């Protein structure tokens, strides 16, 4: 089974789906990462670990390191530049229109022929315009190229460990207890050295108290099936059947 995780920036794959990607790879799936940018406009670390003009190359290497830790076989990049963060920490999307991204992404899907694509949620997690753009372009590209299954990560459910950033309009279809892959996820997150201060700051702000790096890592990862909806085809090619005993109980009802 070929699984492709499509993200806006290096680190999104580890933060939102790292444990699940590692478990899928362990189960024999061929897991790849397609990243729309090299994270050129993001943070460079505290203290800075790279000059601004080198940040894209450094973060590309960080993503390759994380992919290796997770057992992912391929890392590819679309040629979009992550724009610098604006005044008052304003975040921007990495391309002018969804159409610009779809053209590139569609070409990749046609060559890679993934059975399943996993990407950002419909609210862009914490509303990041780059995450929203990646989600929209991925949805369109997957439809156009006939990708059988499309999932979004950080889906909402009553026991979500980070309620404030959960994608409110994406009810979780399954939740993964990534415990057996925790050390791999920790290793992958640690590869993103330029981003570790940001991980701690963001998680602490969301929790309302200081959170150490180890506790930044989500032990439950949740996914929404964008399509197909309704009953799954009974051919067993879905990632849910591959994850088996790693699935955690999912409480339904009002989040
Ligand atoms: Zn991101």
Q: How many angstroms is it from 131 CA to the middle of ligand 1?
A: 6
Is residue 78 within 8 Å of 101, Cβ to Cβ?
Answer: yes
Average pLDDT of span 196-225: 91
CA of 111 to the centre of ligand 1 (A): 25
Instruction: Output the CA 202–ligand 1 centroid distance in Å.
Output: 12
Rounded to whole angstroms, the Cα distance separating 29 from 77 reads: 21
- Which residue is listed with tokens 């197909």? 228
Report the separation in Å between the CA atom of 183 and the middle of ligand 1, taken as the mean of its atom positions: 22
- Alpha-carbon torsion 106, 3, 78, 125, what sign? positive
Alpha helical stretches, state H, the chain: 12-26, 55-70, 98-112, 124-127, 129-145, 182-191, 196-207, 213-216, 239-243
CB neighbour list of residue 73: distance below 8 Å, 6 or more residues apart: 25, 30, 31, 32, 67
How much distance in Å is there from the Cα of 254 to the middle of ligand 1? Answer: 27
- CA 177–ligand 1 middle distance (angstroms): 22
pLDDT over threshold 90, residue 100: yes
pLDDT recorded at residue 234: 64
Residue 253 confidence (pLDDT): 65
Whether the predicted pLDDT of 88 surpasses 90: no
Query: For residue range 4-45, what is the model confidence (pLDDT) as tens digits?
Result: 999 999 999 999 999 999 999 999 999 999 999 999 999 999
CA–CA distance, 237 with 22 (Å, rounded to integer): 18
Q: What is the average pLDDT across 99-115?
A: 97
């Amino acid at each position: 089974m070929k699984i492709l995780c499509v993200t806006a920036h290096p680190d999104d794959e580890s933060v939102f789906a790292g444990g699940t990607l590692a478990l899928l790879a362990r189960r024999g799936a061929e897991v790849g990462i397609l990243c729309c940018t090299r994270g050129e406009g993001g943070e460079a670390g505290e203290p800075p670990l790279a000059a601004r003009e080198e940040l894209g190359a450094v973060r590309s290497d960080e993503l390759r390191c994380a992919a290796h830790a997770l057992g992912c076989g391929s890392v590819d990049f679309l040629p979009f530049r992550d724009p610098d963060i604006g005044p008052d920490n304003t975040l921007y999307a990495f391309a002018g229109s969804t159409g610009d991204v779809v053209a590139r992404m569609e070409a990749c899907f046609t060559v890679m022929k993934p059975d399943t694509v996993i990407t950002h949620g419909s609210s862009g997690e914490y509303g990041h315009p780059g995450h929203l753009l990646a989600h929209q372009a991925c949805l369109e590209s997957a439809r156009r190229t006939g990708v059988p299954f499309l999932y979004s990560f950080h889906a909402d459910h009553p026991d979500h460990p980070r309620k404030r950033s959960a994608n409110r309009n994406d009810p979780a279809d399954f939740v993964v207890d990534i415990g057996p892959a925790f050390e791999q996820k920790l290793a992958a997150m640690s590869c993103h050295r330029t981003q570790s201060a940001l991980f701690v700051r963001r998680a602490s702000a969301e929790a309302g108290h200081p959170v150490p790096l180890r506790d930044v890592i989500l032990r439950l990862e949740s996914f929404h099936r964008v399509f197909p909806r309704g009953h799954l085809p009974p051919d067993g090619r879905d990632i849910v059947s591959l994850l088996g005993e790693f699935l955690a109980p999912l409480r339904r009802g009002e989040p």
